[in-house]
Structure 1
Amino acid sequence: MQRKPDLLWILVILFGLGIVTTGYAQGLWSAKADAPVEITQQQQQQPTRR
């Protein structure tokens, strides 16, 4: 009979994966930030008052 992994170890593994994923995403984000960015602005229509 095998022992089930403790909930603590599952949380530690999930937390570690979250840190690795966040670091990877930030690396991609900063690499993409070096590229030229085109900013477009949408105009909002103001409601007419009577």
Structure 2
Amino acid sequence: MKRKPDLLWILVILFGLGVVTTGYAQSLWNNKTDAPIEVSALQQQSTAFKR
């Protein structure tokens, strides 16, 4: 009879995959020259002045 994997191990594996995926996505995001993160930062600044 095989033991089912514990919920803790499933969560650890999912968390590890999330960390790896996030790191990979951030590295791809930082390699883009026209990343829209600067646009969103400018929009936040402009809305701060309107208040």
Report the TM-score when normalising by structure 2.
Answer: 0.64
Q: Which has the larger radius of gyration?
A: 1
The list of structure 1 runs, each at least 4 consecutive aligned residues, that deviate by more than 4 angstroms after superposition, is none
* CA RMSD between the two structures: 1.6
Greater length-normalized contact order (CA 8 Å, ≥ 6 residues apart) = 2
Query: Identity rate of aligned residues, in percent?
Result: 75
The total of aligned residue pairs comes to 36
| Structure showing the higher helix proportion among its residues | 2
Unpaired segments ≥5 residues, structure 2: 40-51
Q: Which TM-score applies when normalising by structure 1?
A: 0.65
